[in-house]
Amino acid sequence: MIRKINDTEFDKIAIWVKNNFNYTITNHPFFNILVFEDNDILGFLAYNLIYDRIEIEYIGVLPSYQNNHIASKLLTYLFNQEKNIKNTTLEVAIDNKKAISLYKKFGFLVVTVKKNYYQNIDAYYMIRK
């Protein structure tokens, strides 16, 4: 099942994300998280909904559950749920081949390279219209 988490769950999910992906999420008014659950949380998608734009912050699936289309289902759910979106953008490390091919599958195109975006790793800035 995929669902959007509510504010009361934020702290618990933030710890789960930090422990499993070493990624820090910060709550703010534009911030949303979708989770994929099968008893436990197996994957998540964190994004900012800024009026008619979406910025994807992070998408993660627990390693032993990867390659089962969980990330694809999270993205499909996102684009079905959020309507009238002008564009969706994200940054992804240029060596993250799997994530890049996932995003391309959903129609994201590379706009530019952001040098040293992740400390000393470059990132692609991608957009989906």
Ligand X SMILES: CC(C)(COP(=O)(O)OP(=O)(O)OC[C@H]1O[C@@H](n2cnc3c(N)ncnc32)[C@H](O)[C@@H]1OP(=O)(O)O)[C@@H](O)C(=O)NCCC(=O)NCCS
**Binding-site ranges for ligand X (CB under 6 A):** 21, 58-61, 66-72, 92, 96-99, 101-102, 105
**Closest CB 84 distance from ligand X, rounded Å:** 24
For ligand X, which is the closer residue by CB, 4 or 8? 4
For ligand X, which is the closer residue by CB, 1 or 7? 1
For ligand X, which is the closer residue by CB, 6 or 113? 113
**Closest CB 9 distance from ligand X, rounded Å:** 20
Element (H, E) at 50: strand 40-50
CA distances from 15 to 26, 27, 51 (A): 11, 13, 28
Instruction: Indicate the angle between helix axes 97-105 and 70-81, nearest 10 degrees.
Output: 40
